[in-house]
Amino acid sequence: MAGSGVFEEIIEGDVFKYYTDGEWKKSASGKSVAIINPTTRTTQYKVQACTQEEVNKVMESAKIAQKQWAKTPLWKRAELLHKAAAILKEHKAPIAECLVKEIAKPAKDSVTEVVRSGDLISYCAEEGVRILGEGKFLVSDSFPGNERTKYCLTSKIPLGVVLAIPPFNYPVNLAVSKIGPALIAGNSLVLKPPTQGAVACLHMVQCFNLAGFPKGLISCITGKGSEIGDFLTMHPGVNCISFTGGDTGISISKKAGMVPLQMELGGKDACIVLEDADLDLVAANIIKGGFSYSGQRCTAVKVVLVMESVADALVEKVNAKVAKLKVGPPEEDCDITPVVSESSANFIEGLAKDAKTKGATFCQEYKREGNLIWPLLLDNVRPDMRIAWEEPFGPIVPVIRINSIEEGIHHCNASNFGLQGCVFTKDINKAILISDAMETGTVQINSAPARGPDHFPFQGLKDSGIGSQGITNSISMMTKIKSTVINLPTPSYTMG
Ligand SMILES: NC(=O)C1=CN([C@@H]2O[C@H](COP(=O)(O)OP(=O)(O)OC[C@H]3O[C@@H](n4cnc5c(N)ncnc54)[C@H](OP(=O)(O)O)[C@@H]3O)[C@@H](O)[C@H]2O)C=CC1
Ligand SMILES: O=C(O)[C@H](O)COP(=O)(O)O
């Protein structure tokens, strides 16, 4: 159960503590932030509202701890990460329980998120040992005008203190996708979890604590992003920011100082369906891609662009599958569960109403109870409707009928987002041409968009992000190149 057993020390009374200097503490603010259960719409948990003073102290400790950590042998860092991964997986049940209660993630998917996160941490340890154990050796005579008098040795060094800010929808997985790479590369890490999902994150941090990482190396500061976010992201002690979330990321990138940024932001992933596509496969992928976790995935299918000649048949197949989706509470492992907050549900409803007014075809009756919105396929959506462009982050999938491939590509590229997209066709040559033409970080051929497996590169173009994630890319992003040049008095050439 959450907050019990090995997690007992992370809570006092009914408020979860924050983590700093290897200890669980209460904030001097004396204030807490409520976490609302999306299903019951009542307070489920409370976390500390940390102060600026406490942020300052965390940054100081992180800086000191990092200096020692950078001198810890790579194999030892990897060993500790493997240990944390094992502890996390061992305690998957209470952590998954938090995900169910805080973000209404279906029970089975919640367990999957925790297990996937443990695997991600272990993979970081293994990949780090491989890529950080290697450097480069360059010689000067390959550049015009130079003799072989300079030997250059390069290696990857840590950046310092990494600030990690994940979003609510994968709070554990998107936190460890930053923590794992940062730590294996020799950085310290300050985590600011999303408010909805904070308690799952605190449990995950306790797993790192139990693994025995040095004091101050990992900290977890809780509080509302709108209250402490700016102070954290503009803090002079931060040497790198890894953020996943919505438009907040755009404003952070404007305010942050001269530090490397990794930004994984929103998306409007298009699904282009050609006339020769296997429509059963497409329908299955629209269901999985558009409705899993009630559409609250950055990689969800957020607009279907289907050739008019096959549109009726596709819509019929998707509707048949929508009818089978189980709607209800996450505890019962329903397919469609309440969306994260009332304001999110209101936003989704606004998009549906706008589409209704402008003449979209509602394939199902619009239905909402509290934060629970029934799955909805909107046919005959046109570009003047908000749903054609905006990210609902809810269980609503718009269908736009197109008359040419070019029309589909044009709609996809006219978006200010460019995260992922997908194309369905049996003609691989056409698929490649379309993939090349789509202005998105990734294109999936004959499958719905997805971030995983977690070692794949993952990046967004335009407003969808800066830089690339995925384990290898994140490790590289959280390091700098350092060179040492050996200058010889006379040229020297290695003989066999
Ligand atoms: N491209 C990708 O990889 C992914 C993108 N997303 C995107 O995330 C969005 C949904 O997630 P959501 O959590 O609502 O996103 P938000 O942008 O609202 O929040 C993300 C994180 O930022 C924090 N935050 C809020 N304000 C500030 C601030 N001023 N400074 C620093 N941090 C702040 C939040 O904390 P708090 O909760 O306390 O407000 C939270 O931890 C969608 O747009 C989705 O597409 C989601 C997953 C993956
Ligand atoms: O926020 C998201 O949507 C996740 O990063 C998606 O991960 P997945 O596509 O591998 O489920």
Q: What is the DSSP letter of 71?
A: T
Determine whether 298 is an active site residue. Answer: yes
Any residues with Cβ below 6 Å from ligand 2, and which? 169-170, 297-299, 450-452
What residue ranges of the chain have pLDDT lower than 50? none
| The pLDDT of residue 402 | 98
Any residues with Cβ below 6 Å from ligand 1, and which? 165, 167-169, 194-195, 224-226, 229-230, 233, 244-246, 248, 252, 264-267, 298, 391, 393, 419, 460, 465
| The pLDDT of residue 62 | 98
Q: Collect all residues with Cβ–Cβ distance below 8 Å to 77 and sequence separation of at least 6.
A: 69, 125, 128, 183, 184, 186
Give the ligand with the smallest distance to the CA of 454: 2
Residue corresponding to tokens 């590169």: 457
Q: 377-392, pLDDT tens digit by residue?
A: 999 999 999 999 999 9
420-424 and 270-273 strand pairing: parallel
Determine whether 264 is an active site residue. Answer: yes
Nearest to 267 by CA among 432, 62, 458: 458
pTM of the model as a whole: 0.98
Q: 123-175, pLDDT tens digit by residue?
A: 999 999 999 999 999 999 999 999 999 999 999 999 999 999 999 999 999 99
Give the ligand with the smallest distance to the CA of 226: 1
Q: 444, 447, 451: which to mutate for ligand 2, most atoms within 8 A of CB?
A: 451
Q: Beta-carbon neighbour count of residue 69 at 10 Å?
A: 23
HSE, CB side, 13 Å, CA atoms: give it for residue 444: 25
Residue corresponding to tokens 């300050």: 190
- For 10: left if phi > 0, alpha if psi spans -120 to 50, otherwise beta; the answer is alpha
How much is the ipTM here?
0.94
Would you tell me the crossing angle of helices 92-103 and 198-211 to the nearest 10 degrees?
160
Nearest to 232 by CA among 52, 492, 16: 52
| The pLDDT of residue 481 | 98
* % of residues, the chain, pLDDT over 70: 100
Nearest to 349 by CA among 323, 378, 321, 327: 378
| The pLDDT of residue 224 | 98
Rounded CA gap, 186 and 322, in Å? Answer: 47
Residue corresponding to tokens 């299955």: 284
